[in-house]
């Protein structure tokens, strides 16, 4: 029996007792439980309606969790603050992959902290060098039909095997590790029907770039993207994972594929056949909306600066000079990706004007390349082998030159994310990246010659020696805390009135968490030191922001004014934690990105949206504002609030969209306070 059939039966049995008309109930359940995503979610609902009506809030049980070191230190500090002696999940994994540069003690100290926490609290620890968290998790810990949340926005990578995998803030992950539920608003399901078969030199990356070309960076908000159709049969698990990984850039809650014979072969390769179950694909009538992509007609695509949604056919940019090429990241670093890169580079030389850096996704991938001689082909071409980590994707090494063009197989190309503020980053497939490296300019990869036949292995050597098991004697483990690790500040509950809010900054649409809390080699090592990292909030937008925010904190606090899709991109909780530390009490926008809004709620910052289309235009940076009746409104569930602009002497209506549980979190001063007080 596959997971969906089991779920339909489970839902039928649970509902049948409520009605004598069992046939009607069964028919209704089948109609609402057919998609892969709904079948898994329904089986994990613990609070709310398992019929999964879009827009309703549900609390789901989480089977597995994932953290990485850039967000993990804070997540585990939060977990420690709960006072539990062990994680309560089926499986929790901590991976070091982001802060790999050890230019001083900070990153090294954080890694020791993470390793000791994992040993003490029952968490598997993937050591530095073992690989990128999403690639490692896909290979060794993904499980069809299970639920996963991770403190990284690209956690949906494991949706490639038929797993509900959702990116979240570190505090949500900490609560799940403690046995708490994860709450989401039930999304709609957007079915993406794939027909045909990819032509030579067109890859899975081009599929997701085409999805982004059609729906953009906002079109997935409020949806799960679920793939179905005859085109699935030509896509391997790692190709599917490329697609689910980058589905995050549409704003979707997650992306998912069915679990079929191709999935089974992947688990057989990983020597984890016992983890595989069949989950049948949905049908066209099972989705709220359907997009069809004919793979036969797809051509190489490219995302221009500075958005993953700025996608055009590659032919529009052919001939543009290229200074740097970076291949890897959690999007394109699998055995198949790297084998293709090695085959295309074999016997060729990287152009003299271009540098090429390659980051294999995991130790498993790197070891395979070495054993098969493919590593030699890459090195002989002039390619530089970088660590199996995130590296260039988040500006941690291999930053491009001033004013340069960087071609990347990554998932994001926000301004400055590469580590160089004025570089132009373009997102492409591995095939297009190799062509750019060889020719020194954007080139159709079909000019490279015959398409290599990549023979995938039927068996590989599985070596988990760099994944450390937790201690059998946790009572003997001492948590190691370096001097850069600072204790958590306590969130302050909202008062009845905020009499003097300074409008500290006003920003436009599509502000990312990279804008709010930049990454890079200078800032990422400060993730466990909130006072220090807070100095860099909005530093790429306004270098005076942090100083002015601290001044406003002493006189009442600050407010951020923004346009559409505020907080898109990375799940980084510090984009909410650091503003909270700086005294931000409210963020008023036209609309929010999902994870960032949840993070604001979790730290006790009130997220409100302008009720009128011109509300945004009625506030300027520097205006003095006040909001009255906040606690009363939250206690009564009255959504309407008024921002009084005392500088302009006008009233601006705003509203919040919070569930009853989220209102209680706000009243408690954040999720940590709420959880410690016994909230669920």
Distances (CA, A) of 308 to 150, 312, 349, 539, 541: 22, 11, 29, 22, 20
Distance, in Å, from the CA atom of 597 to the CA atom of 612, rounded to the nearest integer, reads: 20
Mean pLDDT to the nearest integer, 415-429: 95
Q: Which CATH superfamily is domain 497-676 in?
A: Aconitase, domain 4 (3.20.19.10)
pTM of structure: 0.91
Q: What is the pLDDT of residue 64?
A: 98
Any idea where the domains of the chain sit in the sequence? 3-55, 59-297, 301-448, 497-676
pLDDT at 487: 80
Task: State whether CATH 3.40.50.300 applies to domain 59-297.
Answer: no
200 burial (CB, 10 Å; 0-12 / 13-18 / 19+) is exposed
Q: Which two tokens stand for residue 638?
A: 């009255």
Determine the pLDDT at residue 2: 53
pLDDT at 29: 32
Does 59-297 match 301-448 in CATH topology? yes
Tokens of residue 345, six digits:
């580079």
Predicted pLDDT at 13? 32
Q: CATH code for 301-448?
A: 3.30.499.10
pLDDT at 12: 30
Retrieve residue 553's tokens.
């904190």
User: 211-255, pLDDT tens digit by residue?
Assistant: 999 999 999 999 999 999 999 999 999 999 999 999 999 999 999
pLDDT at 173: 97
Share of the chain above pLDDT 70, in %: 95
Catalytic residues: 97-98, 152, 412, 570, 572
Q: Taking residues 397-408, what's their average pLDDT?
A: 96
pLDDT of residue 8: 35
Q: Mean pLDDT, the chain, as a whole number? A: 92
The three state secondary structure string of 572-608 is: CCHHHHHHHHCCEEEEEECCECHHHHHHHHHCCCEEE
Q: 308-343, pLDDT tens digit by residue? A: 999 999 999 999 999 999 999 999 999 999 999 999
pLDDT above 50: residue 519: yes
pLDDT in tens, 171-217: 999 999 999 999 999 999 999 999 999 999 999 999 999 999 999 99
Question: 616: which DSSP letter?
Answer: G
On whether the CB atoms of residues 622 and 640 are closer than 8 A, the answer is no
- The confidence score (pLDDT) of residue 680 equals 66
Q: What is the pLDDT of residues 91-115, one digit of tens each?
A: 999 999 998 888 899 999 999 999 9
Q: Which of 20-29, 60-69, 440-449, 640-649 has the least mean pLDDT? A: 20-29
**What does the pLDDT read at residue 17?**
32
């Amino acid at each position: 029996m596959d997971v969906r059939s089991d779920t339909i039966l489970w839902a039928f049995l649970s509902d049948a007792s409520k009605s004598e008309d069992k046939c009607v109930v069964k028919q209704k359940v089948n109609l609402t439980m057919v998609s892969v995503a709904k079948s898994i979610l329904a089986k994990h609902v613990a609070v709310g309606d398992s019929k999964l009506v879009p827009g309703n809030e549900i609390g789901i049980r989480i089977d597995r969790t994932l953290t990485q070191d850039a967000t993990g230190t804070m997540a585990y500090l939060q977990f420690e603050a709960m006072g539990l002696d062990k994680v309560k999940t089926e499986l929790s994994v901590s991976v070091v992959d982001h802060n790999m540069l050890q230019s001083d003690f900070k990153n090294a100290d954080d890694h020791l902290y993470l390793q000791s926490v994992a040993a003490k609290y029952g968490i598997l620890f993937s050591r530095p060098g073992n690989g990128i968290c999403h690639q490692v998790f896909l290979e060794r810990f993904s499980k069809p039909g299970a639920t996963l949340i991770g403190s990284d926005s690209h956690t949906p990578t494991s949706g490639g095997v038929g797993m509900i995998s959702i990116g979240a803030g570190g505090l949500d992950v900490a609560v799940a590790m403690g046995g708490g539920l994860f709450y989401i608003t039930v999304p709609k399901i957007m079915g993406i029907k794939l027909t045909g078969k990819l032509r030579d030199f067109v890859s899975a990356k081009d599929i997701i770039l085409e999805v982004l070309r059609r729906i953009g960076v906002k079109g997935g908000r409020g949806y799960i993207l679920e793939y179905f159709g005859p085109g699935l049969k030509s896509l391997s698990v790692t190709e599917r994972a490329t697609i689910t990984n980058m589905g995050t850039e549409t704003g979707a809650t997650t992306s998912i594929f069915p679990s079929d014979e191709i999935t089974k072969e992947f688990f057989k390769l990983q020597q984890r056949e016992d983890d595989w179950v069949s989950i049948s694909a949905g049908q066209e009538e099972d989705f709220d909306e359907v997009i069809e992509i004919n793979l036969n007609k797809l051509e190489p695509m490219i995302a221009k600066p500075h958005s993953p949604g700025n996608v055009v056919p590659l032919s529009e940019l052919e001939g543009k000079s290229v200074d740097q090429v970076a291949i890897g990241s959690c999007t394109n670093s699998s055995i198949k990706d790297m084998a293709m890169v090695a085959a295309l580079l074999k016997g060729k030389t990287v152009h003299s004007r271009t540098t090429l850096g390659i980051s294999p996704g995991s130790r498993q991938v790197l070891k395979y390349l070495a054993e098969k001689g493919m590593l030699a082909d890459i090195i002989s071409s002039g390619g530089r082998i970088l660590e199996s980590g995130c590296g260039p994707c988040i500006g941690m090494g291999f930053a491009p030159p001033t004013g340069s063009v960087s071609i990347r197989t990554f998932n994001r190309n926000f301004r400055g994310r590469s580590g160089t503020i004025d570089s132009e980053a373009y997102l492409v497939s591995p095939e297009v990246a190799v062509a750019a490296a060889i020719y020194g300019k954007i080139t159709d990869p079909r000019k490279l010659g015959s398409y290599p036949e990549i023979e995938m292995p039927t068996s590989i050597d599985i070596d988990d020696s760099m994944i450390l098991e937790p201690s059998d004697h946790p009572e003997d483990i001492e948590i190691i805390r370096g001097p850069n690790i600072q204790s958590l500040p306590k969130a302050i509950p909202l008062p009845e009135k905020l009499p003097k809010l300074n409008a500290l900054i006003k920003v436009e649409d599509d502000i990312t968490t990279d804008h709010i809390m930049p990454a890079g080699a200078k800032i990422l090592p400060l993730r466990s030191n909130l006072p220090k990292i807070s100095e860099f909030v909005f530093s790429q937008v306004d270098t005076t922001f942090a100083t002015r925010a601290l001044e406003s904190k002493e006189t009442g606090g600050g407010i951020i004014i923004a346009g559409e899709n505020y907080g898109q991109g990375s799940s980084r909780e510090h984009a909410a934690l650091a503003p909270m530390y700086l005294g931000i009490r409210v963020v008023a926008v036209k609309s929010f990105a999902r994870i960032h809004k949840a993070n604001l709620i979790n730290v006790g910052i009130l997220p409100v949206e302008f009720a009128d289309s011109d509300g945004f235009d009625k506030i300027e940076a520097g205006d003095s504002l006040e909001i009255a009746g906040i606690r009363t409104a939250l206690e009564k569930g009255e959504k309407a609030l008024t921002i009084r602009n005392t500088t302009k002497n006008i009233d601006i209506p705003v509203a919040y969209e919070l569930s009853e549980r989220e209102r209680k979190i706000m009243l408690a001063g954040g999720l940590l306070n709420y959880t410690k007080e016994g909230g669920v």
